[in-house]
Structure 1
Amino acid sequence: MKKLLLIAAVAVLGINASAQEFRFGPKAGFAMSTIKIDDKQDDLSARKMDPKYTFYIGGMAEYKFNDKFALQGEVLYSPLGGNENIEGVNAGGLFVGEKTKITFGTLLVPVSAKYFITEGFSVAAGLNVGIILTAKQKTVIGSDLLGVEIDAEDSDYKDGNIKSGIKTLNLAPFLGVEYALENGLFFDARYSLGISNLSNDNSGGSVKNSFAQIGVGFKFGGN
């Protein structure tokens, strides 16, 4: 009886081990980032900046427990942010406006749980932990023919550096999908909703950064 139980245990462990799979590889793609600002001053102060179209690049690792479930971790870099165009006025026959571009140089560490609907198609849910390494703002006032870049009067924000006014941690839960081919090539898409208030201003306002990603990568490893 003991021998039978031992044989059964070894068989179960063998099946479980064969189902486990570790894969890793590079990934890169396109990102669309937006910034939502709420100054808490009046009903019109909340606004969403125009999207910033950018990229991301990095690597991923996936541990598959069985045919249905897996955990995935990644390390990515992306210059996220947003743009804002303020309509100008006609000044002596010259249409003058203002354009502002904000860039958050962000190290992203997404961790997700994956469910495989089929062998190649999976859905995922997780948390994107963003570490903002740099924060820059560029504002240009002028026309399409002539523009003048302006700098902040505050000495802490000189040369477009606004890092002192922005918090470092950006938490963003996300949902995503992935389609993988048998040769290791995969395509994925996800949306991350920024829930962290990135503003260091004590006035009660908020700055939140959300972003969508579409990319491609390759997985090495496996059984």
Structure 2
Amino acid sequence: MKKFLLLTAVAVIGMSAKAQEFRFGPKAGFAMSTLKIDQNQDDLGKRNMDPKYTFYIGGMAEYKINDNFGFQAEVLYSPLGGKEKIDGVNVGIMYVGEKTEVNLGTLLVPVSAKYFITEGFSVAAGANFGVIFSAKQKTVIGSDFMNVEVEGDSGEVDIKDDIKKLNIAPFVGVEYMLENGLFFDARYSLGVSNLSNDGSGGKVTNSFAQIGVGFKFGGN
């Protein structure tokens, strides 16, 4: 009986060790970021800026508690933001328009719960905690004859004081991992934090989609 209990305990411990896996590694990819602006005035004060196509790079750590459930945390850098093009109007003999681009240097800390449909395929839900450590805006006024950069060197203005530092964005995503540890993932993060810091009552949110690739070390 004692031998049976001992063998049973060893088997249970072995199963638990097999189910619990820790993996870590680098990841990088492509991001599409947009800014939504609501100035609380009228329909003219609400607009979505055009997507800004950028990148992200960093690392991840995954802890799988059993065959179906796990948790993941990451640290990523991404220059998020948005851009906008305002169609030109006739000013005398010139046709004048405007282009604006906002760059938000952001350190992202995504934390998520994962459900493994199969060993290699999983879905995830969680939240991105983004720390914005730089914010710049570049505006160029263009015409048929010339482009004029507005304010500052190269038309770039520091707007860090106008932007709040924390951007919280819940997300959903999917991931597929090969047997050798190479994985591909995609997710969409919906910006819910008001990033505007000007006190006018308006709201600015940052949402973004990501598609990337990475490699996981560790596991059994």
TM-score computed with the length of structure 2 as normaliser: 0.94
SS in structure 2 at match of 1:17: helix
SS in structure 2 at match of 1:201: coil
Bigger mean CA offset, 90-99 vs 3-12: 3-12
The answer to whether the Cα contact below 8 Å between 2:150 and 2:156 also exists between their aligned partners in 1 is no
Residue in structure 1 matched with residue 46 of structure 2 by the alignment: 46
The answer to whether the Cα contact below 8 Å between 2:69 and 2:114 also exists between their aligned partners in 1 is yes
Q: Quick one: distance in 2 between partners of 1:144 and 1:86?
A: 15
Q: Quick one: distance in 2 between partners of 1:52 and 1:86?
A: 15
Residues 56-91 of structure 1: per-residue CA shift (max 9 Å, x gap): 000111111121111111000000000011111123
SS in structure 2 at match of 1:164: helix
Residue in structure 2 matched with residue 36 of structure 1 by the alignment: 36
Residue in structure 2 matched with residue 80 of structure 1 by the alignment: 80
Residue in structure 2 matched with residue 115 of structure 1 by the alignment: 115
Using a 3 Å threshold, how does the CA distance of structure 1 residues 193 and 144 change in structure 2: closer, same or farther? Answer: farther
Residue in structure 1 matched with residue 94 of structure 2 by the alignment: 94
Q: Quick one: distance in 2 between partners of 1:170 and 1:198?
A: 7
Name the Cα RMSD after superposition. Answer: 1.7
Q: Quick one: distance in 2 between partners of 1:203 and 1:101?
A: 21
Residue in structure 1 matched with residue 180 of structure 2 by the alignment: 183
Query: Between Structure 1 and Structure 2, how many residues are aligned?
Result: 218
Residue in structure 2 matched with residue 155 of structure 1 by the alignment: none
Residue in structure 1 matched with residue 55 of structure 2 by the alignment: 55
Amino acid at match of 1:169: L
Residue in structure 2 matched with residue 70 of structure 1 by the alignment: 70
Unmatched 5+ stretches in structure 1: 153-157
Residue in structure 2 matched with residue 216 of structure 1 by the alignment: 213
Unmatched 5+ stretches in structure 2: none
Correspondences of 1:5-24 after superposition (within 5 Å) = 5-24=5-24
Residue in structure 2 matched with residue 199 of structure 1 by the alignment: 196
SS in structure 2 at match of 1:15: helix
The answer to whether the Cα contact below 8 Å between 2:104 and 2:132 also exists between their aligned partners in 1 is yes
